[in-house]
Structure 1
Amino acid sequence: MNPLQRTIIEKAGHDNGFEHVLSSAGDAVILASARHRSQAAVTALAGGFEVRFQPATPALLPELLRSFQLWAGADDVFRVPTLADLAALLRRAASLSQALPNQAVRDYHVAVAQAVKTMSAEARGTEVERLVRQRLGQERYRDALLDYWGGACAVTGVAVTEALRASHAKPWAECTDDAERLDAFNGFLLVANLDALFDRFLISFDDAGHLLTSTRLSPSDLSGLGIHSGMTLRWLASEHRHYLQWHRERFLLGA
């Protein structure tokens, strides 16, 4: 690999979520980031680039396969034909690495520690601290879902950030720990009307991602809300299913 190829790879990493170069010797450039713990080893080929990831979470590679199946080899190596494709792969890997367990939890704990450090002694351990923790957690959860779903609604594909809500399947207050509360698989990024209904258990999803609606919603209600038969999640990972099962059980109680 010549110096120009190394420079091109390093810039692609810097611009797409892998801003640190751990090594540029040998056959590969090793890329990393301060924002997540995944690494990427990129090699220049005659017809493109080869990328091997050292993922921060086991969920990363299956999620990348969802979007980049055509470039995936049997040995978990991605071979991309162009620089633009390399940029897209690195960018998605970086976003997922920040969204998937347990990077959001680590980011949350750092943010909480910093916030508590600035509190007065009187505020620590009080309702004030609890509210700060909840606000920071909800912010991190929203960021994780925006990263995971690519900034678009999990059902409609609407990408107007102001209209999107981070919806928990298992509500914040009923989660057993921070890992559940901040798990990107514990819910979906939804437009506001779907979020409101999902939050109140008036809609849910089956294990294939098909929308389920409560009998409490009349046909005119559904029409007015822009909800129609055949709506489905854009995709559904296996890690979503146990949270969805919890949500469906609550949904069925009121359906």
Structure 2
Amino acid sequence: MTLEAPQSFIVREECEKAASQNGFRRVLGEEAGWRAFTSTTAHGTIYLAAEGSQGPWFLATDHAGVVAELDWPAADMSGPGTRRYTFNAQSELYSALDRVYDLAISLPDAPLREFERRVVGLPRTTEAERLVVQRIGQDIFRDRLMKYWEGRCPLTGISDPALLRASHIIPWAECKSDAARLSVYNGLLLSALWDAAFDKALVTFDDQGRPEFSPLLSDEARGELRWTNSLPLTNCHRENLRLHRQKLQQ
């Protein structure tokens, strides 16, 4: 692979447009054909390059959390960042950048930093004041779960926002820190019926993301809890779910 270096006007413009339209609007400069970008809202740096105006296109990132989440094949090439990827078409690059941005604003502590920014100086003396702060946190949590789970319940494929719930694995009140409360690894994006059963510990999930049902569920209720895919879980999810499984109603 031979990168265009320095980038031509067309490649430079296309890289800047792709980065800007997907949340990475700060241009850091170019080195060895790789143009670097950051975001005011997301962690990490991305790097874009191309062989020419017709591609292929290359993306690199230094965000370890993002790299750990992606199952894309790595490009066999040297360059910046911790992992590099190849895309034959610009449309593929745009889709990849959209996913990288969604993960970068969700991992590892981006929700916590956003919460701290928004609640700084807010009083927490009365119950009403504490509820205001909690609501801000829960809104951020839901927004980042929507990003992380790509706007759909992974069990059912339901993507109607009104039917999706941000389900804490370890409940808000039981978390020992705001970091735990706001971590996307402490949350599942579930359709409303699944969320209700999960919240009441009538269903939980094993380490492979498969449902485990409480014997207290009626046959009718269990029949309505339909699913087509197991949950794609990280080790962080699994650790939190081990605690949830201890609550499964017998």
Fold match by TM threshold 0.5: yes
Say yes or no: does 1:242 pair with 2:239: yes
Residue of structure 2 equivalent to 1:96: 103
Give a deviation string over 1:162-209, Cα, whole Å, max 9, x none: 110000110000000011100101120000000011011000000000
Check whether the contact 1:141–1:183 (CA below 8 A) recurs between aligned residues. Answer: yes
The alpha carbon displacement at 1:125 in A equals 2.1
- Alignment gaps of 5+ in structure 1: 117-122
Alpha-carbon distance between aligned partners in 2 of 1:193 and 1:176, rounded to the nearest angstrom: 28
What is the aligned residue count? 238
Distance across 2 between alignment mates of 1:148 and 1:140: 12
Runs of 5+ in structure 2 lacking a partner? Answer: 1-6
Residue pair 2:193, 2:225 contacting (<8 A) in 1 also? no
**Alignment partner, residue 168 of structure 2:** 168
Which whole-Å CA distance do the structure 2 matches of 1:30 and 1:93 have between them? 14
1:77 alignment partner, SS class: strand
Structure 2 SS opposite 1:152:
coil
Cα deviations by residue, 1:70-97 (Å, 9 ceiling, x for unpaired): 4554872111111111111111010001
Matching residue of 2:199: 199
Output the CA distance in 2 between the equivalents of 1:208 and 1:126.
43
In the alignment, residue 90 of structure 1 is paired with which amino acid? L
| Native 8 Å contact 1:137 1:182 kept in 2 | yes
* 1:54 and 2:51 correspond: no
CA contact (8 A) 1:187 1:243 kept: no
- The two structures have a TM-score, normalised by structure 2, of 0.89
Q: Which moved more, 1:3-12 or 1:33-42?
A: 33-42
- The equivalent position to 2:9 in structure 1, one of 3, 10, 16, is 3
Secondary structure of the residue aligned to 2:23 is coil
Aligned amino acid, residue 12 of structure 2: R
Q: Residue 49 of structure 2: SS of its match in structure 1? A: strand
Look up the match of 1:30. Answer: 36
Find the residue that maps to 1:99 and give its secondary structure: coil
CA distance, structure 1, for counterparts of residue 210 and residue 29 of structure 2: 46
Change in Cα spacing, 1:234 to 1:242, as seen in structure 2 (3 Å) is: closer
Listed as ranges, the matches of 1:136-215 within 5 Å are 136-215=136-215
SS in 1 for 2:212: strand
Q: State how far apart, in whole Å, the 1-side matches of 2:43 and 2:173 are.
A: 29
- Quote the Cα distance in structure 2 between the aligned partners of 1:244 and 1:192: 19
TM-score, length-scaled by structure 1 = 0.88
C-alpha offsets along residues 25-56 of structure 1, whole Å, 9 cap, x if unaligned?
A: 6511111111112210111125411211021x
Q: Quote how far apart the aligned CAs of 1:124 are.
A: 4.7
Distance 2:43 2:225 in 1: 39
Q: Distance in 2 between matches of 1:72 and 1:193?
A: 41
1:132-172 CA-to-partner distances (Å, cap 9, x unmatched) read: 11101101110110000000012111110111000011000
* Amino acid of the structure 2 residue aligned with 1:109: E
Moved over 4 A (4+): 71-75
The answer (yes or no) to whether the contact 1:99–1:143 under 8 Å persists in 2 is no
Bigger proportion of residues as helix: 1
